[in-house]
Structure formats: structure tokens, C-alpha cells
Structure 1
Amino acid sequence: MSEVMDYKSRVSDPASRKFETFSYLPALTADEIKKQVEYLVSKGWNPAIEHTEPEYLMDSYWYMWKLPMFGETDVNKVLAEAEACHKANPDNHVRLIGYNNFNQSQGAAMVIFRGKTV
């Protein structure tokens, strides 16, 4: 069995903090973000965009960017909203949510733009 890696993420060091699964990977490229949106739409999930300041990352509250895009199937419209949120809040983390109508829960949530670390 391979060794388990310690990522040395500490509350006292905001730059070291990890958030959600994809934060342990390199930042997503535009093409990778598009593939994630395509996946959400293909599952019939409702996309939504949220954002928060990096210093409040560990809090449970994120700001909703407009309302969830109920029934939206146009990947480019979802990407445009994510870009608009990122442009309006360049220092914030921006995440993509996929709401599952059947389970009444989040089917996916991932940070797609990382804000400026403190």
C-alpha cells in the first residue's frame, strides 16, 4: 500500500487551505470546466454559481450568483454566468453546483475559479 500524503493544510495558514475534492489537483483549465458543465447538464442537474471570499472559505455560507439556472441545457450560457461571476468578484472563489432534482440535493460542487489567497 502506498504512503498517504499529508497536504499540510492549516487553518492558521490561509494559503495552505484545501476545499472540496478538486482543490488537491491543479486548477481546472477552461476546457476542463466546460467538460464539468457538460456533465452536469447531461445528468439533467440544474447548474448554479456561488462565490465567497477566500478568508471565509471554511464557513458554510457562500453567496449565490443569481438564481440557479433551472432547466438550463446551454453549456455556453452556464459558462458565461460563471465567467461573469468571476469577473465581478475576481478575488473570490467561484464554485459550480449541480442540483439534482430527484434527490433534492447537490449532485456536484466544485471550485472552478480560485480567488486570491491571503
Structure 2
Amino acid sequence: MSVQDYKSRLSDPASRKMGTFSYLPPMTEDEIRRQVEWIVKNGWNPAIEHTEPEFASGTYWYMWKLPMFGETDVDAILAELKACHEANPDNHVRLIGYDNFTQSQGANMVVYRGAAV
């Protein structure tokens, strides 16, 4: 058995990967919903960020509104993800689940990918 090499290169924005989920096929709406449900079930605070694809490897992403502290309505979170994507159609949009206990990101996934430059 051999390990697959993913040809990610800084010179090729379309090839760049952003976390574990980016190596898988794009998530369906149902799969995204289940990830949001999992974040809510764990009591994590959802937050939405976005950035231009050419800056996605940087540490700074733009925050979409404030983190949704205490939000448990999955549909409200999905609606905000969609609103961010519609307002920034060329940007990557990611969902973060902040874990209050460990004071770190418990989840981080790109939900919408912008067009690569």
C-alpha cells in the first residue's frame, strides 16, 4: 500500500488544502448540517469567517459578524453560513466551533470554497 501525495503548491491556489475535510469530496448540505449539529451537541460556540482564496493559508480571516455564543438553532447557523457566502461569493467561508472548556477550536472546516485565482 502506498500513501497518496497531494500536489498542494503555493504557486497553485486551486491545489491548496485547508484541513482534513478539504481532502475529501465536498460535503453535501446534509453532511454540513450534521457537522453543525455535532458542534451544537458538544456545546461549542459557532463562528463564521471568510477570506479570499489567495490569502487562505494566512492566519487572518475576516470574521462574519460576532461568534454565535450559545446558539443552538442549527438552521440559524446554516442561514448565517449561507448569508456570508452570498455576501462574499468569491471567498472561502469556514465554520469554527469554539470549545469553551479547552479554550480552543474544537472544529474548523471550510464550508464554501471561493474560486481560485
For the superposition of Structure 1 and Structure 2, which TM-score range results when normalised by the shorter chain?
A: over 0.9
SS across alignment from 2:85: helix
Alignment of 1:63 with 2:62, yes or no, is yes
Q: How does 1:75-86 map to 2 (within 5 A)?
A: 75-86=74-85
SS across alignment from 1:5: coil
1:49 aligns with 48
Residue 7 of structure 1 and its aligned partner are, at CA, apart by: 0.8
Residue 30 of structure 1 and its aligned partner are, at CA, apart by: 0.8
Q: Deviations over 1:15-56 (max 9, x none)?
A: 111111111111111111100000000000000100000000
Stretches of structure 1 lacking an aligned partner (at least 5 in a row): none
Q: Deviations over 1:44-93 (max 9, x none)?
A: 00001000000001110000000000000000000000000000000000
Q: Quick one: distance in 2 between partners of 1:14 and 1:74? A: 34
SS across alignment from 2:95: strand
Q: Quick one: distance in 1 between partners of 2:85 and 2:94? A: 10
Equivalenced residues, count: 117
Cα-Cα RMSD: 0.6
1:19 aligns with 18
SS across alignment from 2:81: helix
Q: Quick one: distance in 2 between partners of 1:73 and 1:16? A: 34
After the TM superposition, which segments of 4 or more aligned residues of structure 1 sit over 4 Å from their partners? none
SS across alignment from 1:99: strand
Q: Quick one: distance in 2 between partners of 1:103 and 1:77? A: 25
Amino acid at match of 1:64: M
